[in-house]
Amino acid sequence: METLEALRTRPLKPGFGAEILDVDLKTASPEEVDQVVDAFHRFGAILLRDQDLDPAGLKAFLGRFGALEGHTQKQFTLPDHPEIYILSNKVVDGKPIGAHNDGVGWHTDYSYKAEPVMCTMLYAVEVPDEGSDTLLADLCAAYDALPKDKRARLDGLKLHHSYEYFMTSRQFLRVDKLSPELKAENPDVIHPLIRTHPADGRKALWVSTGTVKEVVGMPNPEGLDLLEELVAFVTQERFVHAHKWRVGDILIWDNRCTLHTGTLYDDKKYTRLMHRMWVKGDRPF
């Protein structure tokens, strides 16, 4: 039986993430894709460049990571492919084809759900020549860097996540009021501040902005001040990787141990078109 060669990788930054080299997802064997999935669980984020996949190919690839998750804002999903969400500033026939500036601000995806998504994939179809970087913060490295007494104070704290709070207070795409349907689909949830990674037991300082309404048992503004302090800590340059996009890039990050944000670009000068997909996760512990 032929022995499968180990993947060639290089770190996205020292101690975090991996660019996977010499893998063409169009022709990769199931065994090679399994290696890619394994790398994702070990590295926190993976990058594959120069890919050329249609929507069916994207879904088949990401489906190897787990069951695909749907999207809350269904008006921006790809026709005939509701698992694929469009991020874009393009307008066709007077209507935006995707969400513009969605994802700007440090957060982890779907944290307002009882079972937040395990991972997020972005596939670059059109990218600006400058701007629109995606930043990833390594929450496990941030936790490890905390003084022991600080870890002890944070252990056991819980965060109150709210989709309603998020949508009515966010910087971009804000709404005045949620529809009854969206409110019913997205009830408030409580998650731990310190999250354990199910793959290997690593601890992550699982903070997020936007969705957190309060630190349970702590009055505001004290609780939100603590949250702001922790977000500032985990997003220091030493914990952050900045990804500069090229067409054909596939970037997948682990929402169980990272924080991320999009960045702005000159949307009058450039167009951007990205396909985003999610894989279902489990309840944080």
As to burial, measured by CB atoms within 10 angstroms (0-12 exposed, 13-18 middle, 19+ buried), residue 188 is middle
Q: Is the residue at 1 inside a domain?
A: no
Q: What pLDDT score does 3 carry?
A: 54
33: three-class secondary structure by DSSP: helix
Q: Is the residue at 3 inside a domain?
A: no
Q: What pLDDT score does 1 carry?
A: 39
Residues 154, 170: Cα–Cα separation, whole Å: 26
Q: How many CB atoms lie within 10 A of CB 95?
A: 8
**Which of these, 213, 184, 197, 199, lies nearest to 111 by C-alpha position?**
213
Residues 103, 84: Cα–Cα separation, whole Å: 15
Q: Is the residue at 284 inside a domain?
A: no
- Mean pLDDT in consecutive groups of 10 residues from the start of the chain, 285 residues: 76 98 97 98 98 98 98 90 97 95 92 97 98 98 98 97 90 81 94 96 94 96 96 98 99 98 97 98 97
Q: Is the residue at 2 inside a domain?
A: no
Per residue in 4-17, pLDDT (tens digit) is: 678 999 999 999 99
Q: Is the residue at 285 inside a domain?
A: no
Residues 235, 210: Cα–Cα separation, whole Å: 15
Q: Is the residue at 262 inside a domain?
A: yes
Q: Is the residue at 261 inside a domain?
A: yes
Q: Is the residue at 176 inside a domain?
A: yes
Q: Please report, for the domain that includes residue 227, its CATH number.
A: 3.60.130.10
Torsion angle defined by CA atoms of residues 69, 72, 74 and 77, in that order, rounded to the nearest 10 degrees: -50
Q: What pLDDT score does 67 carry?
A: 98
Number of domains in the chain: 1
Please provide the distance, in angstroms rounded to a whole number, between the alpha carbons at the two ends of the chain: 41
pTM tops 0.75: yes
**Which of these, 137, 121, 165, lies nearest to 235 by C-alpha position?**
137
Range of the domain at 21: 8-279
Secondary structure of the chain: what % helix, strand, coil (to 5)?
25, 30, 45
Distance of CA 104 to the CA centre of its chain: 11
